[in-house]
Amino acid sequence: MDKVPSRAEISAMRRSYGEIGLDSLPSDPLEAFGIWLNDARANPLAVEANAMVLSTVDHLGNLTSRTVLLKGITDDCFTFFTSYTSRKGLAIHSQPQVSLLFPWYPLERQVSITGIAEKISREESEEYFASRPWESQIGAWASKQSQPLGSRAELEERYNAAATKWPRGTTVPMPDYWGGYNVAPESIEFWQGRYSRLHDRLRFERTSQSDHDSGEKTEWEITRYYP
Ligand SMILES: Cc1cc2nc3c(=O)[nH]c(=O)nc-3n(C[C@H](O)[C@H](O)[C@H](O)COP(=O)(O)O)c2cc1C
């Protein structure tokens, strides 16, 4: 096995960043995010451009992070799907404040978001679940996500049992412990690497919520921060 890189080798991992600034970002951060997500999607080096690091805090204050996939942006909220009884699901249940981080290193960009996670409706989750490949649907039944697992064989037995119950081509129901969350952003920060470590940081902080009835749009205060 390769040895772990030395301290000198790790600290020599250094590159300088480019000339593109943040001055041209739209004043609506969701629109700006859409442009950046499209840029990442178009860059073959940015694999899994819709992957984001979700951090949660549980009722004891323990912080954990993991990757989940962004599956949609609806009503200005960021949607992902998971097991509601997973470690992250239980953390969100007691503490809905979360952070989302999109690390788009090949573009010398990151977007970090803070917000409040809320379960989406069962109907919306079912709609997405029905669109997933059969293997993923069966996998959702097989996994007691975040529970200790005795052996790999046990997981495969559970998968085979679910596959026998709902053979390929039949409708697989959505487990009631599974579904989506919407994260309503309270702040969205855009980071663009620049020359001489003089990076650009622009943070949009929500000052008012959109209101369907009055037609009022969400308002954001924009602050530039030292890098
Ligand atoms: C690229 C990538 C995408 C992932 N997408 C998801 C996802 O959309 N939903 C999910 O529940 N887990 C996803 N995972 C697995 C999670 O990172 C994590 O291991 C799992 O959800 C259990 O997390 P928890 O025990 O902290 O709840 C993904 C992992 C990777 C590396």
Residue 129 CB less than 6 A away from ligand 1 = no
Task: Spell out the residues 6+ positions from residue 86 whose beta carbon is closer than 8 angstroms to its own.
Answer: 145, 146
Catalytic, 203? Answer no
The atom number, within ligand 1, closest to the CA of 146 reads 25
Residue-range domain boundaries for the chain: 23-131+177-224
What pLDDT is recorded for position 10? 86
Residue 66 CB less than 6 A away from ligand 1 = yes
Q: pLDDT truncated to tens, each residue of the chain (227 aa)?
A: 578 988 888 888 877 776 667 777 899 999 999 999 999 999 999 999 999 999 999 999 999 999 999 999 999 999 999 999 999 999 999 999 999 999 999 999 999 999 999 999 999 999 999 999 999 999 999 999 999 999 999 999 999 999 999 999 999 999 999 999 999 999 999 999 998 888 999 999 999 877 777 777 889 999 999 99
Q: What pTM, to 2 d.p., does this model score?
A: 0.93
The fold adopted by the segment(s) 23-131+177-224 is Pnp Oxidase; Chain A (2.30.110)
The atom number, within ligand 1, closest to the CA of 69 reads 8
Q: Which residue's CA lies nearest to atom 10 of ligand 1?
A: 82
Amino acid at 187: S
Q: Which helix (H) or strand (E) holds 179?
A: strand 178-192
What pLDDT is recorded for position 98? 98
As to burial, measured by CB atoms within 10 angstroms (0-12 exposed, 13-18 middle, 19+ buried), residue 14 is exposed
DSSP state of 172: P
